[in-house]
Amino acid sequence: MTAALSGIFNILATPFTSEGAVDETSLRRLVAFQLALGADGLTILGVLGEAAKLSIEERRRVMEIVLEGVSGRVPVIVGASHDDLATCIAMSQGAVTAGATGVMIAPPRMSNPTDDDIIGLYSRIAEKVSAPIVVQDFPPVNGVIMKAPMLARLAEAIPNARTLKLEDPPLMEKIGAVRALTDHFAIFGGLGGMFLLEELGRGAAGTMTGFAFTEILVAVYDAWSAGDKANAERIFDHYLPLIRYENQPVINLSIRKELIKRRGAIDHAGLRPPFAPIDAGTHLEIGWILNRVGIIDPTQPVIFG
């Protein structure tokens, strides 16, 4: 079994050209950019990756480009969620064959699923996919609520489903509830990194998020892991206005892509429809926030004093 995952995994955006096609050149540059910022791993074809707006062929191509760019330097988790189970399994198998470390899967939309229904779904996937499966617990994606006792049963029943991406608030309470029932899960938070410190305090292994300043979260995680709680708190609290602003409901993905563009990692900040654009006032506020936290040139990695 592959060693447990940990650290800061950047959920990679999928860049598009001004015409809406996948921008392969920007994608290659974005991979190199995230690796240079010290990401412990990459998660692709998640919500920020707009996977639901991509064709199966586009998803395959994005995966190929990312795996080629990473070249084994850090783990890569590939989102393989799909409403059709056979397609989900086929994409998962393709990702593993291509060299992915594991796959991230959320249950499809179900009508009042029982715990046995959900565990049965992951069991059927695990019968066909031997690599690590990251269980994605994010109800806004699918409307499925996975309670702590069921998640503990799932971890006990499926040896390769031992990583949980938990984004079902209240996050820290749910991490604690899962932790009280099983020690088999490596738990990753999310939600833009807004609760990274508290998640780590509850025993999270790290976070998977698309926050545009990966190096800030890496610095927080590294300080915490080294036992320097005060420094982790200092860094996190200093940049919290940026973390908070970026993760606004409705427009968070639009802000995140705009920041990634300002960092020089992609050429265009556009999303595929449907999406909520940001107005002129938000563009101005982004610059204001960056100045407030001391980021004068966003193209350069943040330096921590």
Q: Does domain 7-292 have CATH number 3.20.20.70?
A: yes
Three-state DSSP class for 6? Answer: coil
Residues 263 and 214: beta-carbon distance below 8 Å: no
Assess whether pLDDT exceeds 80 at residue 3.
Answer: no
pLDDT at residue number 68: 98
Give per-residue pLDDT as tens, 67-89: 999 999 999 999 999 999 999 99
| β-strand pairing of 133-137 with 206-209 | unpaired
- Pseudo-torsion of CA 190, 194, 200, 202, nearest 10°? -90
* Number of other CB atoms surrounding residue 117 within 10 Å: 14
Mean pLDDT (whole number) for 29-56 = 97
Assess whether pLDDT exceeds 70 at residue 177.
Answer: yes
Residues 56 and 88: beta-carbon distance below 8 Å: no
Beta strands in the chain (DSSP E): 7-11, 41-44, 76-79, 102-105, 133-137, 163-166, 186-189, 206-209
pLDDT at residue number 2: 57
Mean pLDDT (whole number) for 51-69 = 97
pLDDT at residue number 1: 44
Residue with tokens 């999406």: 275
Task: Specify the DSSP class assigned to residue 211.
Answer: -
pLDDT at residue number 141: 87
pLDDT at residue number 305: 75
- The whole-model pTM stands at 0.96
Three-state DSSP class for 98? Answer: helix
Three-state DSSP class for 18? Answer: coil
The token pair that represents 136 in the structure block: 């994605």
Identify any residues that bridge with 301 across adjacent strands, giving them in sequence order.
Answer: none
Mean pLDDT (whole number) for 259-268 = 98
Mean pLDDT (whole number) for 220-243 = 98
Q: Maximum CA pair distance of the chain?
A: 52
Give per-residue pLDDT as tens, 131-155: 999 999 999 989 999 999 999 999 9
Q: How far apart are CA 33 and CA 286, in angstroms?
A: 21
Mean pLDDT (whole number) for 263-273 = 97
Phi, psi of 69 (to 5 degrees): -70, -35
The mean predicted confidence, pLDDT, of the chain is: 96
